[in-house]
Amino acid sequence: MPTEKSHMSKYSNDPGIPSGSGKDVIAEIYKSLKASAFYPANHPLRNDIIRQTYQLLLGFLHGKNLALLITRNGLFAAEGGAAIENSLAAKSLARELFVREIQRLCFLPDLSMEEFECFLSLLTADPQKIIADGGMEKALADREIRNIVTNEIDITAVFTKKAVSEDETGEPAQASGMIGESRAIFELPPVDDMEDMEVGEIIEAMKNESGDERYCGLAGLLLSKSRALKAQGGFEELMPILLFLMEQCSDASKGRIRRDAAHAAFAGAADGEMTGYLLDCLADRNFKAKENAYGILARLGEKAVDPTIQKLNSSDNIHSRKALATVLIRIGKPAVPALLALLKDHRWYVVRSMLAILGEIRCSECVSELRPTLHHEDVRVVKESIRCLTKTGGPEAVEMLIDLLADQDQSVKGQAIFSLGILKSEKAVDPLMDIVRKRDLFLKTLQLKKDAVRSIGLIGSKKPLPRLMKIVGKRHLFAAGRWRELKIAAVGAIGLIGGEASYDFLLSMAARGGTVGMACGEVIESMNRKDNRQS
C-alpha cells in the first residue's frame, strides 16, 4: 500500500463533480452497493449491475481522480466544497460511508473491477467490525486495494491554507479542503517564530488563541516539547501538559480544527513510554494522582489497551491487577476486541479476568462471543461468564442462561437461576417453574427449588401465581420440614409479585396459623409498609 505522502501529489488534482454525469455516478455506486448487499455472490443480476457501474465510473474518471468529502447528511466535492445534488441516493451513500468513519473517499483512475467489487463488499460488512479491526483504511490495505483511498489528506496544507502541493507533472495544484467533521490524526508542524517559547508560554498562548492556524502551530510545538521531555524521562513534567491538552480536546468553544489539533498533540505525548510510566504509577499503592492517570489512559483509548493487558497478565499483585483492570474498564469499548481475543487463552485466570472486565464494560454486541466460556473446563471461568452475562443483559444473554438450567453442575445451575431473577425476563418464568415442579418427593434439590422460587418472585410476573399458591396450600406427608421451607420461599415470592390476588391469598393463609401462616403475616406487613411508602 503506498504511503500517505506518495498519494498527496495524486490528490492535488481532485476534480469537482459536474451536475449531470457526476450525479449519475453517485446514484449508480449506491445502486451497486444495494445489489452487493441484497444478491448472493456471483448472482448474474448482481454482477451485471456492478459491472455497469464500474464502466460508468471508469469513463467518468478518464485519467482523473474522483474525490468526495462525506458528512452525516451528504456528499461534497473535494474541490471547493460544493455539495453534490441533494438526491436520496447521495444522502444514502453518505450515511453508509459516514457510519464507517469515512470522511474522505477518492477513486483513482487505475481502479480495477476487482478493487471496486471488493470495496463494495467491505461497505456491506458490519460497520462496528470494520472500525474495531482498524478502520476502512486498514481493510483496504489488507486487501491490497491501491486505487480507492479513504481519509488520507494533506493536513499541513489544510491548516496553513497553502495551495502549494505539486502534482506528478510538476504543476502547482490547489490543496484539498477539509470538512468540519474530519477526525484525522496528524503530525502538527511547529511554527518557526515560536521555537523559543517555553512550555508555560505555549499553554497560555493556546488558552487565549482564537485563530486555527496559529493554534495548530502552538499545538505542534507543544507536542515537540513533550517528545523532548519523554526522551529525557521527564514524565512527571508531562502530566500537567497532558491534563491541559485533555481540557482543550473537550472544550466545545475551541471548534473542531483546534480540538483535533489538541487531541493529536495529546495522543503523541501520551503514548509509548508515557503510557508505561502511568501504568507503573497505577501499580504503586501509594500513587496519589490515580484519577488523573485513569483519565489520561482512558482518553488515549485503544493505544493504551495492549500495554495495559500485558502488564495486567504479568502482575501477581492484587492491588496492581485491580488498578489495571480499572484502566481497561475506563477505556471501555475500544478495549473489547483485545479482551475477546484473550478468551481463548489457555490460562483460566486470564480468561476469568477478561470476563470480569467485559462484564463491567457491558458490551451487549459481544454477548454471543461469550458462549464458549460457558462450557469452559474450569468452573470458575463458567461462573465469571454467568456474572458477565448478568451485567450485560439482553435477550441473548437470557437465552444462554436458560440453557444453563440443564447443566449437571449444581453450583453453575444455581448461579444461572439467581442471574435470571436479576435480569427479570418473563421468558425465564416457565423454565424456572419447571425446576420447582420437577418431581422430588423428599426434596433433595430443595435449595435449587428455593432459588428458582425466589427468582420467579424477583421477575414479578403474575403468570406463575396459581402454581405458587398451590405449593403453599398443599399438604405433604414425607419430608414435611423441607416442604415447609419451600412453602415459606413461595410465600415470599407471592409477596414480591404483589397485587390484590396475592394479598387476599396471603391473608387467608395467615388466618390458618402455624409457621407458614406466620410467614404470610410477615409478608403482608411488608406489603403494607411498601404501599404506605409509595402513597
CA distance 374 to 127: 28
Residue 9 has pLDDT above 90, yes or no: no
Q: What is the 3-state secondary structure (H, E, C) of 342-410?
A: HHHCCCHHHHHHHHHHHHHHCCHHHHHHHHHHHHCCCHHHHHHHHHHHHHHCCHHHHHHHHHHHHCCCH
Secondary structure (3-state) at 229: helix
DSSP alpha helix (H) spans, 251-378: 255-270, 273-283, 290-300, 305-314, 318-331, 336-341, 348-361
pLDDT averaged over every residue in the chain: 84
Percent of the chain past pLDDT 70, that is, above it, reads 85
* pLDDT score, position 211: 87
Q: Which of 100-109, 192-201, 424-433, 477-486 has the lowest mean pLDDT?
A: 192-201
- Give pLDDT, residue 76: 78
Task: Count other C-beta atoms under 10 Å from residue 340's C-beta.
Answer: 16
**pLDDT tier at 339 (50, 70, 90 boundaries)?**
very high
Summarised one tens digit per residue, pLDDT across range 348-405 is 999 999 999 999 999 988 999 999 999 999 999 999 999 999 999 999 999 999 999 9
pLDDT band for 12, please (50, 70, 90 cuts): very low
Count helices and strands in the chain by DSSP H and E runs: 27, 4
Listed as own residue / partner, the contacts of 312-317 with beta carbons closer than 8 Å and 24 or more positions apart are: 312/353, 313/342, 313/347, 313/350, 313/353, 315/283, 317/283
pTM: 0.62
pLDDT of 221 reads: 87
The three cell numbers of residue 386 are 454467568
The Cα–Cα gap between 131 and 126 comes to 9
Does the structure show a pLDDT above 60 at 417? Answer: yes
Give the model's pLDDT for residue 126: 80
Query: Sorting pLDDT into bands at 50, 70 and 90, what band is 345?
Result: very high
pLDDT at residue number 442: 87
Residue 319 has pLDDT above 50, yes or no: yes
DSSP 8-state secondary structure symbol assigned to residue 68: E
Amino acid in position 337 = P
> Are the CB atoms for 26 and 90 separated by under 8 Å?
yes
14-18, 39-43, 110-114: which range is least confident on average? 14-18
Distance CA 245, CA 267 (A): 9
Q: What is the pLDDT of residues 222-252, one digit of tens each?
A: 988 898 898 889 999 999 999 999 999 999 8
Mean pLDDT of the 21-40 span: 78
Identify the pLDDT of residue 168: 38
Mean pLDDT check: name the lowest of 140-144, 189-193, 225-229, 492-496.
189-193
Taking only the tens place, the pLDDT of each residue in 501-519 is 999 999 999 999 999 999 9
DSSP states of 230-247 = HHTT-HHHHHHHHHHHHH
User: Percent of the chain at pLDDT above 90?
Assistant: 54
